[in-house]
Amino acid sequence: DAGITQSPRHKVTETGTPVTLRCHQTENHRYMYWYRQDPGHGLRLIHYSYGVKDTDKGEVSDGYSVSRSKTEDFLLTLESATSSQTSVYFCAISEGGGGTDTQYFGPGTRLTVL
């Protein structure tokens, strides 16, 4: 399995509080991604990074920000959490950004916003 860890694995927080999720990789892959998955649905891309300090928005980026100060870490921040952000968050990595570059996923973080 690809060396991807996510922390925390579970979090319960209240509306309006800031939340930061961490993705850590040991593969030295250039690309990192954050997805969210809501019950019964597929994954939706929030943000991704194509290098240190290089990030771009995905399809559902509103309310989220990201940072990547080191190759191995990609942080997802909810500045002021809302109940609509209750979801399971998956981090993924890939060596490159091309169509032949397989994405490998972390175990997920289950976030509940009350």
Partner 1 sequence: DAKTTQPTSMDCAEGRAANLPCNHSTISGNEYVYWYRQIHSQGPQYIIHGLKNNETNEMASLIITEDRKSSTLILPHATLRDTAVYYCIVRVRTNAGKSTFGDGTTLTVKP
Note the residues at the interface with partner 1 (CB under 8 A).
Answer: 4, 31, 33, 35, 40-45, 48, 50, 56, 58-59, 88, 90, 92, 94, 96-108
* Residue whose CB is less far from partner 1, 44 or 73: 44
Count of alpha carbons within 13 angstroms of residue 93, beta-carbon side: 23
Q: Give, as one character, the DSSP assignment of residue 99.
A: T
For residue 31, give the nearest of 106, 108, 98 by alpha carbon.
98
CB of 92 to partner 1, least distance (A): 8
Give me 59's structure tokens.
């399809």
